[in-house]
Amino acid sequence: MSLDVRRRSASERREALKEVLAEARACTRCAELAATRKTVVFGAGNADAELMFVGEAPGASEDEQGLPFVGRAGGLLNTLLAEIGLERSQVFIANTLMCRPPGNRDPQPIEIDNCHEYLLRKVELIQPAVICTLGNFSTKLLRGDPTGITRLHGSPEVLVLGARAVRLYPIYHPAAALYTPRMLETLREDFHRLPELLALGAPEQPSFAEVPEPAPEPAAQPQAHAAGGERGLEAGQLGLF
Q: How far is CA 176 from CA 173, 183, 184, 237, in A?
A: 6, 8, 8, 25
Confidence class for position 6, pLDDT limits 50, 70, 90: low
Angle between helices 10-25 and 109-126 (to 10 degrees): 160
pLDDT at 45: 95
pLDDT at 157 over 80: yes
Q: In the prediction, which pLDDT does 221 show?
A: 37
Q: What whole-number distance in Å separates Cα of residue 156 and Cα of residue 153?
A: 8
**Per-residue model confidence (pLDDT) at position 5:** 65
Is residue 55 within 8 Å of 39, Cβ to Cβ?
Answer: no
User: One-letter amino acid identity for 7?
Assistant: R
Predicted TM-score of the model (pTM): 0.86
Average pLDDT over residues 154-183: 95
Element (H, E) at 45: strand 44-45
Tell me the C-alpha distance between 159 and 164, whole Å: 8
Q: Is the pLDDT of residue 22 over 80?
A: yes
Res. 8 pLDDT band, cuts 50 70 90: confident
Give the integer Cα–Cα distance in Å for 87 and 80: 9
* All domains in the chain, ordered by first residue: 10-203 (3.40.470.10)
Length of the chain counted residue by residue: 241
Angle between helices 72-83 and 181-191 (to 10 degrees): 40
Q: What is the DSSP string of 54-110?
A: EES---HHHHHHT-SS-SHHHHHHHHHHHHTT--GGGSEEEES-SSPPGGGPPPPHH
Tell me the percentage of the chain whose pLDDT exceeds 70.
Answer: 83
Band (pLDDT 50/70/90 cuts) for residue 10 is: confident
Q: How far apart are CA 99 and CA 37, in angstroms?
A: 6
Banded model confidence at residue 2, pLDDT cuts 50, 70, 90: very low
d(CA 207, CA 204): 9
Q: Considering the chain, what is the average pLDDT of its residues?
A: 87
pLDDT digits (tens, 9 = 90+) for 212-233: 444 444 443 333 333 333 334 4
Residues with Cβ within 8 Å of 215's Cβ and at least 6 positions away in sequence, in order, are none
